[in-house]
Structure 1
Amino acid sequence: MTLIRRLVTGASTTLLSVSLVACSSSDTGDAAQNGATAEEVMSAAKSALDATSGVELSLTTEDQRDEGDFLRSAEGVITDAPAFQGTAGGRFLGFNAEDVEVRSVDGEFYVNAPVIGWDTYDPAELCAPDPATLLDPDTGVSNVLVAATDLEAGEQRRAEDDNSVVVTPYTATVPGTAVKAILPCAPDDSFEAVFTVDDEGRLRAADLTGVFFSGGDDITYTITVSAYGIAQEITAPE
C-alpha cells in the first residue's frame, strides 16, 4: 500500500483505492488516471503535513510592494511544538532588511532587528504570518489545500531539483479566508493557486497569487517544503 493510500484511508471514513506511483520519464497523466481524485490528493497531502514532526520551509516572492511593511522572504525550520527558527527579509517597521533572524516559541514572535536587537513583535502588525503556525492543521498551509476549489491536475513531470522525484501540479482557487490565516494582510476574496505534490503524496510547493495588500497589484507567494520529518529543539533567544 502506497503512502498516499494510507494517508487517504486514515483521513477518510471510506476505503479509497489509490495508487500514485513513480513513473518512468515517458509516463505522464493526472491523478484521476492513477486512481485518486484531486480532492483526495489534497486530503492526503494535508494529512502528511499534519502528521510530520517538522519541516524545512521557505516563503518567497519576486514581486514588490510600493510602500508599507512587506514580507519578501522567510525560510527555516517549523516544528509541531509549534515553533520556528530561521530568517526573514523585506520591509519591517519602514526599514528594508534581509536575513533577519526570527524565532517563534511558546506563542511569542521574536525578531533580531538591526540596531534594536532581539525583541517581541505582533507579526500581524508587520503584515507577516507567525511562521510557527504554518503547520497548524486548522489554520496553516495544510488547511489551504483542502479549502481549495476548482482543482485540476496537470501533467506529471520530474522535479526540477531532483530527477528521481515525480511531481504533479494542481491548479485551484482558494478562498481568501484560508489565505488570510497564513498571510494576514491579504484582503482578496479568492486567490489562484498551483499546488505541486510529489509521488509520495506530499506537498512540495504552493504558489498563491492575488492581492495580498490593500490597493496593491497581484503578488505571487511561493511556499516550498524542502524536507519533512525534521526534529529540532527551538528555544527563545536569550
Structure 2
Amino acid sequence: MTPSRQSLLAALLLAPLALTACSGDDEPAAAEQTPEEVLAAAKEKLDATSGVEATLGTDEDPGTDYLSEAEGTIVADPASFEGVIAGRVSGIPASDIDVVSVDGTVWIDVPLIGWTDEFQPKDFCGPDPAMLLDPTAGVSGVLTAATGLEEGESARDEVDPSIVITPYTGTVPGDAIREVLPCTDADEVDATFNVDEDGYLRTADITGSFFPDADPITYRISIAEYDVTKDISAPK
C-alpha cells in the first residue's frame, strides 16, 4: 500500500473518533434553573391543572378562632370545592364539617341546622377553598411572590419514597398571603416550597402571624393529586 493510501485509510478510521471526542467536549451542559424559575414553572402547572386533591391545615393552636384544616377536591373551572373543614368559631371547636363552594357561595353543613351559607370560612379566618386554584388569589400566586429564595438539598419524600423532593425557602409578602389566609397581619411570612423532580409543587409550609394578637404558627398546603376532574354542585 502506498504512503498516500495509508494516510487516507488512517484518516478515515480516526475521523469518527475525533468527531465523537469533539462533540462530547464541546456539548454545553444543561442550564440549571434558578429557584425563581422553578417556582414560576410550578405555578404554571398549578394554573394549568383541571383540579387537585389538596389539604390546607395546621397542627398548632393559635389560641383564637381559626381554620385548622380544609381537605377535599378543588376544581379550577368553574371554581368549586367539595370537602370537609375543621376549626374553632366563637370559641367552639368544630370538626368534619362538610363544605361545598360553588359560584362564589360557600355552603356549610352545620350540625342540627343543615346546609347554610350563613357561616363563611372567613369566620374561621380561612379562605373560600374554591379559590385556592385561582392564578392570582390562590396558592400559585404565593409561589411567584416569594423572595430571597434558596434551594435546599433534595431528598426522598417521607410519605412516598418514590418521589424526590427539593425544598426552596424564602419569604412571602403579607399581601400575597392574605389572599389565602385573610387574617394575616404580618408584613411577611417564611415559606418552604417542596417541589418534586417533575416540577410539581407537593407541599408548602408557611410560618407567620396569621391572627391578631396570636403566636405564629405553620400552615401546610399539601397537594396529593393533580389533573382531577369532578362535577360539584350546590347542596339541595
Q: Which residue of 2 aligns with 1:70?
A: 66
After TM superposition, the score normalised by the length of structure 2 is 0.84
AA matched with 1:70: Y
Deviation at 1:93, TM superposition (A): 4.3
Q: Where do 5+ consecutive residues of structure 1 fail to align?
A: 1-16, 20-33
Matched, 1:117 2:110: no
Question: What CA distance in whole angstroms lies between the structure 2 residues aligned with 1:142 and 1:208?
Answer: 13
Percent of matched pairs sharing the same residue:
49
Q: How does 1:110-149 map to 2 (within 5 A)?
A: 110-120=107-117, 121-149=119-147
Moved more, 58-67 or 182-191: 58-67
Deviation at 1:204, TM superposition (A): 0.1
Say what the alpha-carbon RMSD is for the aligned residues: 1.5
Q: Where do 5+ consecutive residues of structure 2 fail to align?
A: 1-27
Deviation at 1:85, TM superposition (A): 0.3
Identify the match of residue 50 of structure 2 among 32, 45, 53.
Answer: 53
**Contact 1:18–1:36 at 8 Å: present in 2 too?**
no
Question: What CA distance in whole angstroms lies between the structure 1 residues aligned with 2:190 and 2:165?
Answer: 19
Q: Which residue of 2 aligns with 1:156?
A: 154
**Contact 1:93–1:126 at 8 Å: present in 2 too?**
no
After TM superposition, the score normalised by the length of structure 1 is 0.84
Q: Which residue of 2 aligns with 1:187?
A: 185
Question: What CA distance in whole angstroms lies between the structure 1 residues aligned with 2:120 and 2:73?
Answer: 20
> Which has more radius of gyration?
2
SS in 2 for 1:75: strand
Compare the two structures and name the one with the higher helix fraction. 2
SS in 2 for 1:215: coil
Q: Which residue of 1 aligns with 2:167?
A: 169
SS in 1 for 2:142: helix
**Contact 2:87–2:124 at 8 Å: present in 1 too?**
no
SS in 1 for 2:163: strand
Aligned residue pairs total 207
Q: Which residue of 2 aligns with 1:104?
A: 101
Q: Which residue of 1 aligns with 2:9?
A: none
AA matched with 1:113: V
